[in-house]
Chains A and B, each alone.
Chain A
């Protein structure tokens, strides 16, 4: 009887440990992006880059870069372009931001992304914070 009780206690401890581990693991997962208000873009915290979409800028394309992250981007207070946030080729910070995006894509490091609303209501990259 005492043996069974100990077994149940051990099982309970194991289940509790598993639940705690799952809670910790889920808290480490990427969170969804949040809105800064309608037309004001928003923020994605602790996300990683899933897709880097690069246009060449030759005839028929505009040279923009588009990105997707592992958190849901639909809450952002702006429109996604085909499911992507845009880094416009004409942005004054294009080179530095693109270099940072290549770095986080290469290292799979988490970063914070601030998005604002650009032309046509589309979400555009304002800046990144690398961790």
Chain B
């Protein structure tokens, strides 16, 4: 019996630690900085920290940033530049993964400019 309880607890703990989390930028945020690297990838910095960031995007220097890739991030970059230029409010979501820069900035999934 004790062994069964241990197994159930262990399985629950496994799911609890591997549960999916993705960053959320509130819908009333503003873009304060756009970083573009020489290889085309970059980051969008918001004026608010990311809510529920993924486990991989915990670097304190990038707690308000999402990354975009050189290949699939051009539309996101254009939106970010437009939002930065106009001061429009934006919202955004992360993917829950950190593939563009490795394990310190979460990847941009989608965003809304109002």
Contact = CB atoms under 8 A, between A and B. Distances in A.
Contact of B114 (A50, A56, A59, A99): A50
Contact of B75 (A56, A105, A106): A56
Given A63-B72, A98-B78, A52 B99 contact: no
Nearest to B73: A56
Contacts, number: 70
A51 B75 contact: no
Interface in A89-110: 89, 98-99, 102, 105-106
Contact count band on A: 20 to 34
A58 B76 CA distance: 11
Contact of B113 (A52, A59, A98): A52
B112 A56 contact: no
A107 B75 CA distance: 18
Contact of A54 (B71, B88, B107, B110): B110
B97 interface: yes
A53 B82 contact: no
Contacts of A61: 95, 109-110
A52 B113 CA distance: 5
A57 interface: yes
A65 to B, nearest CB: 6
Contacts of A65: 75
A51 B111 contact: no
B108 interface: yes
Contact of A55 (B69, B71, B109): B109
A55 B78 contact: no
B110 A56 contact: yes
B17 to A, nearest CB: 21
A89 B73 CA distance: 12
B111 to A, nearest CB: 5
B85 interface: yes
B79 interface: yes
Interface of A: 50-61, 63, 65, 89, 98-99, 102, 105-106
